[in-house]
Amino acid sequence: MSWSRRIRAGVVGLLAVASLAPAEACCPAPPAGRPVLNSDQTVILIWDKASRTQHFIRRASFRGESRDFGFLVPTPAEPELDEAGSEAFPLFEGITAPVVQVRERMPGIGCSAEPSVPAPSASVRVLQEKVVAGLQAAVLAADSSSDLVDWLRDHGYEHSPAIAEWVQPYVEQGWLLTALKVADPQAPKGDRVEASALRISFQTDAPLFPYREPYSEQAIREVRPPERLLRIYFVGEARYRGSLSAGAPWTGRVAWSGPLDASSRQEAVRLLGLGDAPTPPDWWLTEFEDPWPYAKAASDLVFQVDADQSQVRRPPLIQFVDAPLIVQIFPCFAVLLLAAFPLLLIVRLTRRANPAA
């Protein structure tokens, strides 16, 4: 392959990776009267079965009219919060990108803002407070959803009936809520807000993704969001599948699945800043893509080992390049030769039949 073709193939490969990068689901909680919705989400979920530890690395964006808002992340146990390097996302995107196949194009026959610090509350317990990944974080425990909603209202978060309905099951199950503040006063109104990559590590009996979110028809009408994509890079000791815990069908599909070699695993650990954190000894990466409709979800998303342990790859991207000139004109020459052959044969036979001529 010539250098020019190699360069073209490399450009197409980079474009293929870029096309896969649109941006843990969570509950956006903006100030009252300023609707914000989850937009595209890309998460890396690493599950260590032996220690029952889940690392949740999120890169998210939001759409809405508020430039100063917060969001809530539910976890079944108290989380450890730390900043995660965003460089790990391009690593996984590159691993799961489709193979680029270069083919020569042949002619046809025709030849043609400042963070606020939450105040103590008697009914809502603040277990942690810290600034991480550019976010003001507070890990909360509450005995009632109404007390938690009151705390959110007093600290500048949304306190709508949709939030109260969303948080109720988590409070009843004894889950904790991590409240995170985002402030971007310089961004123009109506633009997408990008949050920094954040790692949330916690203990759980089974790997999960908090798929539920507050549903508000009014917010959808006001924000008028476009279609969105949820992309989950799930790492475990084997291939896993996702399903809603309520037994309802999930709209996600497997786009890529296969084992990672030692060098890719070591690079991911370094980029994510996991260090000595528990991770599976062997990594199997499964990428899920979900169109994630703006609708009420029946439950959160849970993962379990898939009965199908086969590998999955994206279909290759075909790049067509012009064939060399000699290759392009050869078919035309061949057609002319085939067309002339009967005539030459007739002339030859005629001469044999009439030697005097």
Burial environment of residue 186 by CB neighbours within 10 A (0 to 12, 13 to 18, 19 or more):
exposed
pLDDT of 275 higher than 50? yes
More confident of the two residues 100 and 278: 278
Instruction: Give the mean pLDDT of 232-258.
Output: 93
CA distance 77 to 205: 10
Instruction: Give the mean pLDDT of 18-28.
Output: 39
334 φ/ψ sector (left φ>0, alpha ψ -120 to 50, else beta): alpha
More confident of the two residues 323 and 110: 323
Q: pLDDT-derived band of residue 328, with 50, 70 and 90 as boundaries?
A: low
pLDDT of 35 higher than 80? no
More confident of the two residues 275 and 157: 275
More confident of the two residues 77 and 220: 77
Least confident of 192-196, 309-313, 327-331, 333-337: 192-196
pLDDT of 108 higher than 60? no
Q: Is 36 helix (H, G, I), strand (E, B) or coil?
A: strand
pLDDT (0 to 100) of residue 193: 53
pLDDT (0 to 100) of residue 117: 46
CA distance 13 to 321: 14
Share of the chain above pLDDT 70, in %: 68
Is residue 136 within 8 A of residue 180, CB to CB? The reply is yes
- Within 8 A by CB and 6+ apart from 307, the residues are none
pLDDT of 341 higher than 80? no
Q: Give how far Cα 157 sits from Cα of 31, 69, 126, 225, 322, Å.
A: 5, 7, 15, 21, 58
Instruction: Give the mean pLDDT of 108-121.
Output: 45
Q: pLDDT-derived band of residue 111, with 50, 70 and 90 as boundaries?
A: very low
pLDDT of 112 higher than 50? no
- Within 8 A by CB and 6+ apart from 137, the residues are 81, 128, 129, 130, 131, 178, 179, 180, 181
Instruction: Give the mean pLDDT of 251-260.
Output: 97
pTM for the whole structure: 0.73
Share of the chain above pLDDT 90, in %: 41
Burial environment of residue 74 by CB neighbours within 10 A (0 to 12, 13 to 18, 19 or more):
buried
Is residue 129 within 8 A of residue 138, CB to CB? The reply is yes
Q: pLDDT-derived band of residue 168, with 50, 70 and 90 as boundaries?
A: very high
Is residue 68 within 8 A of residue 183, CB to CB? The reply is yes
Q: Parse the chain into domains and list their residue ranges.
A: 3-322, 326-357
CA distance 44 to 103: 34
Q: What share of the chain is helix, strand, coil (3-state, %, to 5)?
A: 25, 35, 40
pLDDT (0 to 100) of residue 323: 65
CA distance 229 to 20: 10
pLDDT (0 to 100) of residue 330: 67
Q: pLDDT-derived band of residue 94, with 50, 70 and 90 as boundaries?
A: very high
pLDDT of 197 higher than 50? yes
Sort strands 193-194 and 208-209 into parallel, antiparallel or unpaired: unpaired
pLDDT of 266 higher than 60? yes
pLDDT (0 to 100) of residue 24: 40
Mean of pLDDT over the chain? 77
More confident of the two residues 340 and 305: 305
CA distance 166 to 152: 13
